[in-house]
Structure 1
């Protein structure tokens, strides 16, 4: 037998990635000017301020804009790894390295049986569509952890659990990576690993510096951010004389005025409903394939993003990363939701920073951008949920239960029988 030659990496993905990321670096280093507010202020001012506080040996206890789990301190402190660089420059370079890591993981995974490079192309296109905001926040670092977790989880559920726990302590949402793990041994390994990792890290951070969990109170007090789905009601109400206003609170632009608390409560109710749907899906799902954890995580993140009181532009990076993992699997059913997310990413750049002044003013152009962007995300979440349900909890003829993924189902008399193939 002749030995098969190793597959050579095509240069095109790397070339396109390099060109698009060069543009992002030119933007964050202010060689190229993007209209709208300066997106790098969060890094050069806010992150830098947190960096100084963290170096003093405590979390930012008196800063209500610190609304992140304790491991976020690692991201904020990470520019110390490049001590000869100015803080913001070092941060942007580290985000670039995380970006390259994700590309490498997706391209490497694309060489496995049942996988493809479409996921890498989603990542290559999606990040620059979000614009320079993707490099001026630490969310891309978190997304890199999530992508690594899902790609490793196909073979090593324990690694998936550990990375999901670490990601959750970075920014919460990676806990949703665990929702679609195959029931049985894989789920036990993933969830046990996640619980042990989370407990150990949480204890370590609590002992490391005071104030590790002060963020919980700051997060609780947030209102309705002007870019969220619920905020559309208030944007439209302003056209009819509603007397509310926009203020900078807790690090984002929020609505203040009558009925804002009601809108926030309704958004919370929708988030609870989304959680309920995920629980019901988990109980009803019977068919778990290799791509199911990625599909389920993508769906869950979309649902919670759409129902959140806050939809910051960098949140779209999460969806882009998970969409990329989904499309790395040939058998995924998430192609249409992934395309909708990519289009939403492009509209997000128009909404922030380019058209953010129009959004704050609630004028026709600003409201239109929000309707389109949030409408695309809502459509993606609904389509993803429907496809996930149909792929994993299908009906069989006669209304019987679907055959589990292991091919074993109960037979008459209580003894298991092998499903016909």
Structure 2
């Protein structure tokens, strides 16, 4: 694990990673029991059920919790690669290997000229802050694809596009990896990959895109920014309920649809800002793709109707890629994301009962976590704008003038 000949083995990094991952494995294999709801049941019950259906050549259309693009089937079916293990055990091992692959990629990239080992440390420290949920969801696998795409982008733009297209058909958000790309090749590769896979699934398996209807019908999940309206309203007589709805714990009752619509409008505003940035940006540096992807995913996560704990894995991974680049301006937003990750494990699963009850502790945790995400998205957007839009600020960020302009992708 080294990015340059003769570089020292990063024993401290490897030690921290190994120790923290051992603890995560002990939790998901239930050698020790992590406080709060059992986060592994999604794998042993829901994922395993989908696995059985997918093996029959069809998507689980009778299950509204199936809300993923068709290539998510690859992740759900992946435990078949380890037939000597039970489904859940194989899944946990594969999640562990995906985690390891991200560390290797970040450490290798961090040893190259103009790069730093900060990214590998962000990943090593940030992932365990989320607790065992990381290994009990397939998001770490998607994040591994996204990290590989961004790190390959400078030298192999078509690889960036291909992996982004694949990732988009696994969990949608990796399409945002292309937001800061200034050349055509990655976009073409992504379009070809996504179109080919879509056609393949559409022909081979019925219901490949039924997930779109299930996503459309989702409400306001209790951990989202908009949910704070109802957490507070419950103390003033609002008579709605908290129910397991479309696979997540959501508010159901008066005005929920209004708040959900407001969240969609906030997402539209975020998209509008990103579009304006894309039209105004002129300085595309070596770190711009990673910085832009990080900011884009931050903005869409913070404004989403659903902010599940596993979403934080995406942000930790993208923050880690940003900090591989010495010139990245995302140090503060990355630190805010790490803080938000720690608060996330407190609100789920540790004290999730307080969140569901909308008591003082639950509301405080959500205000802090969501506030950190909003702050990270805001500061990230400002720094991205100043870094890439000419004359956007009369006072350059420290070190801005000294950075070398490198082409992003060709």
TM-score, length of structure 1 as denominator length: 0.92
- The alpha-carbon distance between structure 1 residues 179 and 239, as it changes in their structure 2 partners (threshold 3 A), is same
Alignment of 1:20-419 (within 5 A): 20-181=20-181, 183=182, 187-395=183-391
Q: What are the ranges of 5 or more consecutive residues in structure 1 without an aligned counterpart?
A: 408-421
Could you report, residue by residue, the CA deviation over 1:89-131 in whole angstroms, capped at 9, with x for unpaired residues? 0000000000000000000001111101100000001110011
Partner SS, residue 248 of structure 1 = strand
Distance 2:336 2:40 in 1: 27
TM-score, length of structure 2 as denominator length: 0.94
Partner SS, residue 64 of structure 1 = coil
Query: Once the 2 structures are TM-superposed, how far is the Cα of residue 12 of structure 1 from its aligned partner?
Result: 1.6
Q: What are the ranges of 5 or more consecutive residues in structure 2 without an aligned counterpart?
A: 395-400
Query: Once the 2 structures are TM-superposed, how far is the Cα of residue 206 of structure 1 from its aligned partner?
Result: 1.5
Could you report, residue by residue, the CA deviation over 1:230-270 in whole angstroms, capped at 9, with x for unpaired residues? 00011001111111110101110010111100000000000
Query: Once the 2 structures are TM-superposed, how far is the Cα of residue 9 of structure 1 from its aligned partner?
Result: 2.3
Distance 2:235 2:48 in 1: 39
Partner SS, residue 105 of structure 1 = helix
Aligned to 1:6: 6
Could you report, residue by residue, the CA deviation over 1:285-305 in whole angstroms, capped at 9, with x for unpaired residues? 011101000000000000000
Aligned to 1:415: none
Partner SS, residue 244 of structure 2 = strand
Query: Once the 2 structures are TM-superposed, how far is the Cα of residue 343 of structure 1 from its aligned partner?
Result: 0.6
The question of whether the paired residues in 1 share the 8 Å contact of 2:266 and 2:303 is answered with yes
Distance 2:187 2:354 in 1: 45
Larger Rg: 1
Distance 1:5 1:136 in 2: 37
Distance 1:273 1:6 in 2: 49
Query: Once the 2 structures are TM-superposed, how far is the Cα of residue 396 of structure 1 from its aligned partner?
Result: 7.2
Could you report, residue by residue, the CA deviation over 1:47-103 in whole angstroms, capped at 9, with x for unpaired residues? 000000111110001110000000000100000000010100000000000000000
Query: Once the 2 structures are TM-superposed, how far is the Cα of residue 6 of structure 1 from its aligned partner?
Result: 2.5
Q: Number of residue pairs matched?
A: 397
Aligned to 1:410: none
Query: Once the 2 structures are TM-superposed, how far is the Cα of residue 14 of structure 1 from its aligned partner?
Result: 1.2
Query: Once the 2 structures are TM-superposed, how far is the Cα of residue 15 of structure 1 from its aligned partner?
Result: 1.3
The question of whether the paired residues in 1 share the 8 Å contact of 2:302 and 2:373 is answered with yes
Q: Quote the RMSD (CA, aligned, Å).
A: 1.7
Query: Once the 2 structures are TM-superposed, how far is the Cα of residue 358 of structure 1 from its aligned partner?
Result: 0.4
Query: Once the 2 structures are TM-superposed, how far is the Cα of residue 208 of structure 1 from its aligned partner?
Result: 2.4
Query: Once the 2 structures are TM-superposed, how far is the Cα of residue 406 of structure 1 from its aligned partner?
Result: 8.0
Query: Once the 2 structures are TM-superposed, how far is the Cα of residue 156 of structure 1 from its aligned partner?
Result: 1.3
Partner SS, residue 154 of structure 1 = coil
Distance 1:281 1:74 in 2: 34
Distance 2:15 2:327 in 1: 27
The question of whether the paired residues in 1 share the 8 Å contact of 2:72 and 2:171 is answered with yes
Which consecutive segments of 4 or more residues in structure 1 shift more than 4 A?
Answer: none
